[in-house]
Each structure stands twice: as structure tokens, then as C-alpha cells.
């Protein structure tokens, strides 16, 4: 079994490489947690959800915020380990006093995305329908945040080579994502529409525009997307309601399912996916996958098969 303390060092180094400042408090907390663990069984998990919860809430008289910090530190470490293919139980995000409550992701099927685009055509004027269709398509195939797509300018895209430069990403970072030929044709077709082309296609112009040629406000785009989901009749699933951000969850889920199904290294895929999505912490990427039973089932199957030759 891997030395857990060395895995803490690897995890902290990964965080630092992704832009986090060195965190001595986090290192101390994680090593304290590991020191509390009994010797694990040879074929068992490195640690369990129960062990994490028990340790996180151990300090007598501790504040809910301190208990929450301890559990969050272990959860993110566990998510990193699980994303690297190691056997570990990842504590759920809704456990413990003061724990963070994240919205349950809505995982879109391909048919759902097609239904959303049909809804846009039926609800809006031609230009607005085309704008919402391109926005939905880019969210689906790139995993970008809605704000990142809406801030794109025409010059941020190289449709000949299928490159999108996200110059105004979260945390002030710049990154690149790729488009396939089909997506490039769809975006080029949108820009060449007479009602869109007359609004300007110079490099500094916004890619997605209102009828006045201005950038689409995010609140307006979210409102239009909500109308599309209602018109398309997308069902509520296990407490989740369809949101634009969940197209990002769906992108990550598909990527990991493809990696597991094709036998690629899941740890490397998770690392690349984290960089693609612009996450500073692989635990953020792993959270996108927790709500997808397909990913868990494939991962368990790979573990049961044993090491790949």
C-alpha cells in the first residue's frame, strides 16, 4: 500500500502547481488525520467515510466551522486520491455541521441538448434562437462556464484550427480549449448569418450578441435557458433541476466515462480534465463526477479487474 504521508506531499505539490499558495495548516491537518488511522487491511480502502467523519468531529467543544474545515480538508484529499484511481471513500459534501451544500448536478443526455436547441427555435426570434443554440452547443462540447462563453470575442476563436482562447477565465487565468470540425462549422454559420454579420465580426466584437450588437448579459442568457428547459419539458432528476452550469458537469462525466471505457489512465485523464475545465483543485473536478453512477460503476469494474496489463 502507498505511503499515505507521501501522498499528502504529492497532493500539496499538485495544489501548488495549480496556483494555490503553500498551505502549512492543511498539511498539518491531513497528517494529523493520517496519524489517527489504524493499519488498513491489505485490500481495503485507504480510509473510510466513517473514519473521516469521526476524526473531523473529534475535538471536544470545537466550533462547527472548525469541524467543517477538517472534514473539507480530508474530503478534497480523498477526492484527489479517488481521481488518481486509489481505493478510498470520499465523504459526501452534505455531511457534518456547517458542511457546504452544493447543488445536485443535472446530467444531460444528448437528446436533452437537442430538445433545448429545438426549444430555442420555437421560443425566440431567429437571431436570439441562433445565439442561444450556439451558447448551448459551446457549453456542451467545451465544458466552459457560461460567463466564459459570453465574454468571448470573435478574435478569441480560430475556426480554421479549432482553437478557443479563454482570455478572461476564472481566477484571471488564460487557457485554451478545442473545437471539433462540426462545432467550428456551427459557429462559422452563426457568424455568417445576415442578421448576425451586420452587427460586426471584427476580432474585438463579442461572439454572441443581442439584436443591438452588444454582449449578451449573463442574467438574460440564464433566463432564456430556463425558458428553454421548461419548454423542452426536461424532467427533474433526483432533486436536480437543469441549469446551464450542469452542461459542464455532463462534459466532465462523458470524458471520464470515455477514459474508463477505452482503458486510458483515469488519473491522467482527471489531471488533463482539471486543466481543461480551469479548476485549481482536482477535487473540484472529482465533485463533478460524484453524481454520475455510470462513472462509479465503470471505476469499480476496473478495480475489480485488477491492474491493467
Residues 6+ apart with CB under 8 A from 159: 179, 184, 187, 188
Active-site residue, from 128, 145, 196, 249: 145
Helices (H), strands (E): how many in the chain? Answer: 14, 3
Residues 6+ apart with CB under 8 A from 30: 8, 11, 73, 74, 77
Active-site residue, from 170, 205, 241, 302: 170
| CA separation for the pair 47, 259 (Å, rounded) | 25
Active-site residue, from 205, 227, 245, 302: 245
248 is known as an active-site residue: yes
Active-site residue, from 248, 254, 260, 286: 248
Asked whether 196 and 130 are in contact (CB, 8 A), the reply is yes
145 is known as an active-site residue: yes
25 is known as an active-site residue: no
Q: Which of 63, 67, 77 is nearest to 30 (CA)?
A: 77
Handedness of CA 31, 2, 84, 55 (dihedral sign): negative
| CA separation for the pair 254, 273 (Å, rounded) | 11
Name the one residue in this structure whose C-alpha cell is 442561444: 132
Q: What are phi and psi of 209, to 5 degrees?
A: -130, 160
Here the cell at position 116 is 433545448
Query: What's the gap between Cα 284 and its chain centre?
Result: 7
Handedness of CA 251, 148, 238, 74 (dihedral sign): positive
Catalytic site positions = 145, 170, 245, 248, 279, 288
Amino acid at each position: 500500500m502507498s505511503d499515505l504521508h507521501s501522498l499528502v506531499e504529492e497532493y500539496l505539490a499538485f495544489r501548488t502547481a495549480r496556483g494555490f499558495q503553500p498551505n502549512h495548516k492543511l498539511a498539518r491537518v491531513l497528517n494529523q488525520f493520517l496519524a489517527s488511522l489504524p493499519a488498513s487491511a491489505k485490500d481495503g480502502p485507504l480510509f473510510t467515510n466513517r473514519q473521516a467523519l469521526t476524526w473531523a468531529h473529534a475535538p471536544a467543544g470545537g466550533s462547527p466551522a472548525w469541524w467543517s474545515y477538517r472534514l473539507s480538508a480530508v474530503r478534497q484529499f480523498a477526492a484527489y486520491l479517488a481521481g488518481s484511481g486509489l481505493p478510498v471513500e470520499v465523504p459526501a459534501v452534505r455531511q457534518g455541521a456547517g458542511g457546504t451544500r452544493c447543488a445536485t448536478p443535472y446530467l444531460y443526455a444528448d437528446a436533452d441538448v437537442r430538445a433545448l436547441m429545438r426549444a430555442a427555435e420555437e421560443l425566440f426570434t431567429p437571431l436570439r434562437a441562433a445565439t442561444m443554440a450556439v451558447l448551448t452547443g459551446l457549453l456542451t462540447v467545451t465544458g466552459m462556464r457560461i460567463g466564459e462563453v459570453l465574454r468571448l470575442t470573435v478574435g478569441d476563436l480560430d475556426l480554421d484550427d479549432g482553437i478557443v482562447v479563454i482570455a478572461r477565465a476564472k481566477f484571471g487565468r488564460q487557457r485554451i480549449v478545442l473545437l471539433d470540425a462540426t462545432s467550428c462549422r456551427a459557429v462559422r454559420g452563426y457568424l455568417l448569418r445576415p442578421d448576425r454579420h451586420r452587427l460586426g465580426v471584427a476580432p474585438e466584437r463579442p461572439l454572441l450578441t443581442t439584436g443591438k450588437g452588444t454582449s449578451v448579459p449573463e442574467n438574460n442568457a440564464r433566463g432564456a435557458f430556463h425558458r428553454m428547459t421548461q419548454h423542452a419539458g426536461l424532467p427533474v432528476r433526483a432533486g436536480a433541476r437543469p441549469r446551464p452550469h450542469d452542461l459542464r458537469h455532463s462534459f466532465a462525466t462523458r470524458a471520464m466515462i470515455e477514459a474508463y471505457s477505452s482503458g486510458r489512465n483515469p488519473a491522467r485523464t482527471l489531471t488533463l480534465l482539471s486543466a481543461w475545465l480551469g479548476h485549481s483543485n482536482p477535487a473540484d473536478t472529482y465533485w463533478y463526477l460524484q453524481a454520475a453512477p455510470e462513472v462509479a460503476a465503470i471505476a469499480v469494474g476496473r478495480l475489480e479487474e485488477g491492474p491493467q496489463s
